[in-house]
Amino acid sequence: MSKTPEKKITALVVDDEDLARLVLRELIQTHPEIEVLAECGNGFEAVKAVAEHKPNLIFLDVQMPRLSGFDVLELIGTDTAVIFVTAYDQYAMRAFEVHAVDYLLKPVGRDRFEAALERAKSRMGEKLPPAPDLAAAARPPKQFLERIVVRDGSRVTLIPVRKLDYAEAQDDYVALASEGKKHLKQQTIASLEACLDPEQFVRVHRSYVVNFEKVVRIEPYGKDSRLAILSDGARLPVSKAGYARLKILLDQRS
């Protein structure tokens, strides 16, 4: 009786080090059921390659310039099985918190690689929690965002938090206003607010979080509401509760 051939697995290898990609390639070569569709030297290439190739499996480095492995996973979502590969074991717990199927520590050994691959095969096609929750899960405790990553197709934009003027809720998205432009990101305003430094960002309205540094004045508007006027001229509604939060920051800094 002939052996049933294993189902084909399409994969990406993502690492900014040539040698690390070579090691993974050699380990994968003994598995004819795996087809490596592309090798990527940074996170931007990875996001583009995922959109183009739609692989089943990604071997993903954590520490990469500009876009980390956690940033990549947030941008691509959780439909693809991911095995994190890194030289730093402090990322292990965070890797599992963001639903990686396994975690390989460099230098990668054959036995550990085989075990990770078996886990990945058993998890393939499994639906995992949505990507917007990954930003908070991947962030170390008590550390706030320093930048926000936004994906539009295969294009990725990095917004330094200090340059974020405000965020506006739009159903399950937020519109991020920065330097005269707006960027749409699939994330709730509540989850974004939780990632931002409360000493700098204030929820002034159920639909708006504002960078306190960008507020130049507060004007009355109606009976119980006000408007926050920003340095670029933007006018944001401020609820009664939002004004109370603003007052706390104003009092702290006076």
Q: What is the pLDDT of residues 11-27, one digit of tens each?
A: 999 999 999 999 999 99
Does residue 130 have a pLDDT over 90? no
The stretch 120-137 carries a mean pLDDT of 63
Q: What CATH number corresponds to the domain at position 124?
A: 3.40.50.2300
| Domain that residue 65 falls in | 9-135
Q: Which residues of 180-208 are buried (b: 16+ CB within 10 A; e: fewer)?
A: eeebebbbebeebbebbeeebbbbbbebb
Report yes or no on 1 lying in a domain. no
**Do 112 and 14 belong together in one domain?**
yes
**Do 129 and 155 belong together in one domain?**
no
Per-residue pLDDT band for 30 (boundaries 50, 70, 90) equals very high
151's tokens:
């994906």
Higher pLDDT, 92 or 182: 182
**Do 95 and 152 belong together in one domain?**
no
Number of domains the chain is built from: 2
Does residue 155 have a pLDDT over 90? no
84's tokens:
């994190």
Segments of 31-172 assigned E as strands? 34-40, 57-61, 81-86, 102-105, 147-152, 155-160, 164-170
Per-residue pLDDT band for 131 (boundaries 50, 70, 90) equals very low
Please give the share of the chain, as a percent, with pLDDT higher than 70: 87
Per-residue model confidence as pLDDT tens digits over 205-226:
999 999 999 999 999 987 778 9
